[in-house]
Amino acid sequence: MLSYLLAVLAACANATSSVLQRKANREVPKKQNLTPRLIWSLAHQPTWFGGVLAITAGFLLQAAALGHGQLSVVEPILVLELPATLILGGWVFRTRLGRREWACVLVMAVALGSILYALSPKAGPKSGVHWYIWLTAIGLNLAVAGALVAYGRRGPAGGGRTDKKGSARQSAVLGVAAGSMFGLTAALMKAMTGTLAHGIVALVTHWPVYGMIATGVLGMFLLQSAMNAGRLIAAQPGLTLSDPIVSVLWGVLVFGERVRLGWFAGLAVVSGLALATAVMMLIRSPLLSDESGQADEGQAEEGQPSARRRTVRSAGR
């Protein structure tokens, strides 16, 4: 049960980081996007540092959860970061969650509980993972991510193009690539917690910690590329769902974690589909839309007329 609690706390910490960093970015001029001045401006805001501390806490809580539990348990729970971000963001930005948002949050919680009940993951053998299995699994994971990146480059964004037009397809594909890399990072984090049990010297003299850092940085780069290629609404579903799926595959196929089969597997599949549907609906909430913050800023600066203009534009659509 401790791993469940730590995973939920990690999801809440990650959600706190997302909200704080979003709040800090709303204070920075949009013209600084993708420039070194963006980081310089954010570094002068205590809110941004709060976000950095929160994501650090999330990382440590996730590592602690993986130290006490299985990948097949911890990583699916981190999906709760999405509804936690929405709820916390609604409180911070003074927006009210509607019935659709609360319904999606409820469905996600029930579906996640059903998945964990159906799979009932158990720890694998204590003998560890052989080097050739590591090499094969990492190679396959990197190959899948590489293929997704190669496919995601086919579009108007990136490649040195000057066209500022984004692509929902590119953003979605790169979001899945980023999620697959975060799944690999979680697997290496799991291996790192095993070496940490033998002391700090064992930790710094074994490769998993360095592999975890490298794949984590690569995952962050792919995530930023996904956000740059298109809107958040296109990138987030693939990112949210591919991370736990890849992590569960690592847990079962590499670490030997045991899950229940038979009709339990069918229940897990149905619950997974319900979870995916709730994620797709929740990410389309106006409260998570890229334009929501701009709309709030416009209303604050221009008063009620901006709200009327949005109403006219909505009616026109």
Give the helix/strand (H/E) hosting 162.
none
Rounded mean pLDDT of 217-242? Answer: 74
> For the segment 251-305, what is each residue's pLDDT rounded down to a tens digit?
888 988 888 888 888 898 898 899 888 888 877 776 655 444 444 444 433 344 4
Mean pLDDT calculated for residue range 120-149: 86
Q: What is the pLDDT of residue 28?
A: 54
Q: 315 falls in which pLDDT band (50, 70, 90)?
A: very low
pLDDT band per the 50, 70, 90 thresholds, residue 24: low
Q: pLDDT tier at 231 (50, 70, 90 boundaries)?
A: low
Look at the block and give the residue holding tokens 């999620």. Answer: 179
Under a CB-based contact definition with an 8 Å cutoff, are residues 186 and 71 in contact? yes
Residues paired with 258 in a beta bridge: 122
- pLDDT of 65 > 80? The answer is yes
Q: Return the pLDDT at 205.
A: 84
Residue 181 near residue 145 (C-beta atoms within 8 A) = yes
Residue 98: count of CB within 10 angstroms of its CB: 13
Q: Render the burial of 289-313: b for 16+ CB within 10 Å, e for the rest.
A: eeebbeeeebeeeeeeebeeeeeee
Residue type, 6: L
The owner of tokens 């997302």 is 18
Question: In this predicted structure, what is the pLDDT of residue 39?
Answer: 60
Neighbour count for residue 59 (Cβ, 10 Å)? 18
Q: Is residue 122 classed as helix, strand or coil in its secondary structure? A: strand
